[in-house]
Amino acid sequence: MEPLHALVTLANFVIVPAVAYGSQLALGALGVTLIYGILRFSNFAHGDTMAFGTMAVILTTWGLQSAGIGFGPLPTALLALPVGIAVAAALLLGTDRVVYRFYRDKKAVPVTFVIASLGVMFVYNGFTRFVIGVDDQRFADGARFLVSARGFRDATGLDEPLVIKSTQAITVVVAVVVVAVLFWFLNRTRTGKSMRAYSDNEDLALLSGINPERVVTYTWLIVAGLATIAGTLYGLDKSFKPFTYFQLLLPIFAAAIVGGLGSPIGAIAGGFVIAFAEVTITYPLKKVLGYFLPESLAPDGLVQLLSTDYKFAVSFMILIIVLLIRPTGLFRGKSV
Amino acid sequence: MSDRVDLRAVGLFGLVALLFVGTGILQSWNVALTILNMGLISAIMALGVNMQWGYAGLFNVGIMGFVALGGLGAVLVSMPPDTEAIAAGGGRVLGGLLLGAVTIIAAIFAWRRGGRHAGWLMVAVLIAGFFLYRAMLDPGVEAIEAVSPANRGSIGGLGLPVLLSWPVGGLLAAGAAWVIGKTALGLRSDYLAIATLGIAEIIIAMMKNEDWLARGVKNVIGVPRPVPYEVDLQRTQSFQDLAARFGADTVTASAIAVKLAYAGLFAVVLLILIWLTQAALASPWGRMMRAIRDNEVAAEAMGKDVTRRHLQIFVLGSAVLGLAGAMMVTFDGQLTPTSYQPLRYTFLIWVMVIVGGSGNNWGAVLGGFLIWWLWVEVEPLGVLLMQGITAGMAEGSWLKSHLLDAAAHMRLLTMGVILLLVLRFSPRGLLPEK
pLDDT in tens, B228-277: 888 888 888 888 888 888 877 888 888 899 999 999 999 999 999 999 99
CA distances to A51, A123, B112 from A224, rounded to whole Å, are 11, 17, 45
CA distances to A120, B299, B341, B354, B378 from A117, rounded to whole Å, are 5, 29, 18, 13, 22
Q: A 65-104 residues with CB below 8 A of B?
A: 99, 102
CB nearest A316 (choices: B202, B410, B412): B202
Asked if residues B356 and B423 have their Cβ atoms less than 8 Å apart, the reply is no
Give the pLDDT band of residue A296 (cuts 50, 70, 90): low
A48 to chain B: which residues are within 8 Å by CB?
none
At residue B136, the pLDDT reads 87
* Interchain CB contact of A312 with B (< 8 Å): yes
Taking CB atoms and an 8 Å limit, are A254 and B208 in contact across chains? no
A99 to chain B: which residues are within 8 Å by CB?
420, 424
Go through chain B and tell me how many residues it has: 434
**Gap between the Cα atoms of B61 and B342, Å rounded:** 9
B189 to chain A: which residues are within 8 Å by CB?
110-111
Taking CB atoms and an 8 Å limit, are B202 and A324 in contact across chains? no
At residue B389, the pLDDT reads 83
What ipTM does the predicted assembly reach? 0.89
Amino acid at B419: L
Taking CB atoms and an 8 Å limit, are B194 and A102 in contact across chains? no
pLDDT surpassing 60 at residue B3: no
At residue B163, the pLDDT reads 92
**Gap between the Cα atoms of B205 and B145, Å rounded:** 17
Question: What's the distance, CA A28 to chain centroid?
Answer: 3
Give the pLDDT band of residue B1 (cuts 50, 70, 90): very low
pLDDT in tens, B28-85: 899 999 999 999 999 999 999 999 998 888 999 999 999 999 999 999 999 988 888 8
| Mean pLDDT, residues A14-26 taken together | 94
Residue of A nearest to B208 (CA): A309
**Gap between the Cα atoms of A174 and A75, Å rounded:** 13
Name residue A46's beta-bridge partners: none
- Burial of B321 (C-beta count, 10 Å sphere; 0-12/13-18/19+): buried
* Interchain CB contact of A116 with B (< 8 Å): yes
CA distances to A120, A122, A136, A185, B375 from A55, rounded to whole Å, are 17, 16, 12, 27, 25
| Mean pLDDT, residues A94-107 taken together | 94
At residue A311, the pLDDT reads 81
Contacts of A244 (CB under 8 A, 6+ apart): A238
pLDDT surpassing 90 at residue A170: yes
* Interchain CB contact of A64 with B (< 8 Å): no
Per-domain residue ranges for chain B? 3-81+156-425
**What integer best gives the mean pLDDT of chain B?**
89
Residue of A nearest to B131 (CA): A305
pLDDT surpassing 50 at residue A96: yes
Taking CB atoms and an 8 Å limit, are B205 and A115 in contact across chains? no
CB nearest B415 (choices: A112, A122, A254): A122
Amino acid at B260: L
**Which one of A140-149, B252-261, B376-385 scores highest in mean pLDDT?**
B252-261
At residue A299, the pLDDT reads 65
Give the pLDDT band of residue B396 (cuts 50, 70, 90): confident
**Gap between the Cα atoms of B30 and B48, Å rounded:** 28
At residue B301, the pLDDT reads 92
Taking CB atoms and an 8 Å limit, are B413 and A112 in contact across chains? no
Mutate to test the interface with B, among A35, A316, A336 (most CBs of B within 10 A): A316
| Mean pLDDT, residues B116-138 taken together | 86
**Domain spanning B3-81+156-425, CATH architecture:** Orthogonal Bundle (1.10)
Domains of chain A, earliest start first: 2-325 (1.10.3470)
CA distances to B84, B336, B363, B411 from B224, rounded to whole Å, are 20, 15, 33, 32
pLDDT in tens, B284-335: 999 999 898 888 889 989 888 988 999 999 999 999 999 999 999 999 999 9
Contacts of B421 (CB under 8 A, 6+ apart): none
| Mean pLDDT, residues B387-400 taken together | 79
CA distances to A7, A300, A326, B128 from A3, rounded to whole Å, are 6, 19, 36, 25
Taking CB atoms and an 8 Å limit, are B197 and A249 in contact across chains? yes
Taking CB atoms and an 8 Å limit, are A123 and B412 in contact across chains? yes
At residue A298, the pLDDT reads 64
**What integer best gives the mean pLDDT of chain A?**
88
Q: A 251-280 residues with CB below 8 A of B?
A: 253-254, 257, 261
pLDDT surpassing 90 at residue B169: yes
Taking CB atoms and an 8 Å limit, are B420 and A119 in contact across chains? yes
pLDDT in tens, B184-225: 887 777 788 888 888 898 899 889 888 888 888 888 888 889
Taking CB atoms and an 8 Å limit, are A122 and B419 in contact across chains? yes
Taking CB atoms and an 8 Å limit, are B205 and A123 in contact across chains? no
B209 to chain A: which residues are within 8 Å by CB?
307, 309-310
Taking CB atoms and an 8 Å limit, are B427 and A112 in contact across chains? yes
**Gap between the Cα atoms of A284 and A14, Å rounded:** 10
Asked if residues A196 and A45 have their Cβ atoms less than 8 Å apart, the reply is no
Report how many helices (DSSP H) and strands (DSSP E) chain B contains, helices first: 20, 2
**DSSP one-letter code for A263:** -
CA distances to A88, B38, B144, B227 from B266, rounded to whole Å, are 45, 9, 35, 12
Taking CB atoms and an 8 Å limit, are A250 and B194 in contact across chains? yes
Q: Which residue has the higher pLDDT, A330 or B275?
A: B275
Smallest CA-to-CA distance from A131 within B391, B398, B402 is with B402
At residue A335, the pLDDT reads 47
Picking from A44-58, B8-22, B128-142, B304-318, which range would have the lowest pLDDT averaged per residue? B128-142
Percentage of chain B lying above the pLDDT 70 cut: 99
Element (H, E) at B291: helix B284-294
**Gap between the Cα atoms of B87 and B426, Å rounded:** 59
At residue A300, the pLDDT reads 65
CB pairs under 8 A between A and B: 130
